[in-house]
Amino acid sequence: MSEVYIFDIAWQEIIDWFLVQPIYAQVLVLIGVFAVLTLAVILVYYILKGVGYLVYYLLKGVYYLLKGLGLLFYKIFEGLYYAISGKPKPIKNAAPEQQAPPQPQIIYQVKQEQEPIVPIQQSEQIVRPEVGFCSECGNKFSDSMLHTLQERGIAYCIHCGNKKTQEYQMSIESQ
């Protein structure tokens, strides 16, 4: 049989070794080869992605560096120009005010009516202990739940987690 050489490797020996193996070993070798090739492609992808980010941020840094240097030289030469020529440096904010004629200011006095201050009235609603069952799960409210509902106005059932408010309690009491 003639030897097949690709990239200076004798592939005929590798093919003969592969064909001698039992079928499950051949399948496992093929799965392994595909897994290694997949991992190699993924590794190359992330390496190229990293190199791309590196080049991008290096170029971005060089751009901002050159931009800053250009602005520095511009400001230096602008300052030298005004220092040598003796001209005053123009102020950008003063130019629009000089061009527009001043307009008379009209002041409107608005009569404000003061609103009467009403004190806040706090009313306490007492939760009656005879009404103390959850509408979701039917379990009786505990003493701490009734106390929390009375103080804060909101409580959660410890059995099912359903939210109870004082409006809920008042609707049950009215029935």
pLDDT digits (tens, 9 = 90+) for 141-175: 777 777 787 788 788 787 787 777 766 555 554 54
CA distance 17 to 72: 71
Q: What is the pTM of this model?
A: 0.39
In this predicted model, which residue has the larger pLDDT, 66 or 135? 66
For 17-37, the three-class secondary structure string (H helix, E strand, C coil) is: HHHHCCHHHHHHHHHHHHHHH
**pLDDT computed for residue 156 by the predictor:** 79
**pLDDT computed for residue 127 by the predictor:** 52
Query: Does residue 53 belong to any structural domain of this protein?
Result: yes
Q: Which two tokens stand for residue 72?
A: 């520095």
Question: Within this chain, do residues 9 and 79 fall inside the same structural domain, yes or no?
Answer: yes
**pLDDT computed for residue 61 by the predictor:** 97
**pLDDT computed for residue 129 by the predictor:** 47
Q: Which domain holds residue 63?
A: 5-85
Question: Within this chain, do residues 16 and 78 fall inside the same structural domain, yes or no?
Answer: yes
User: Mind listing the pLDDT tens digit for each residue in 84-105?
Assistant: 998 888 888 754 555 566 676 7
Query: Does residue 100 belong to any structural domain of this protein?
Result: no
Mean pLDDT of all residues belonging to the chain = 80
Taking alpha carbons only, the member of 78, 75, 79 closest to residue 67 is 75
Query: Does residue 156 belong to any structural domain of this protein?
Result: yes
Taking alpha carbons only, the member of 171, 154, 161, 169 closest to residue 139 is 161
Query: Does residue 120 belong to any structural domain of this protein?
Result: no
Instruction: Decide which of 85, 116, 141 is a domain's last residue.
Output: 85
Compute, in degrees rounded to 10, the torsion defined by CA atoms 110, 111, 112, 113. -150
**pLDDT computed for residue 60 by the predictor:** 97
Q: Average of pLDDT values for 38-44? A: 98
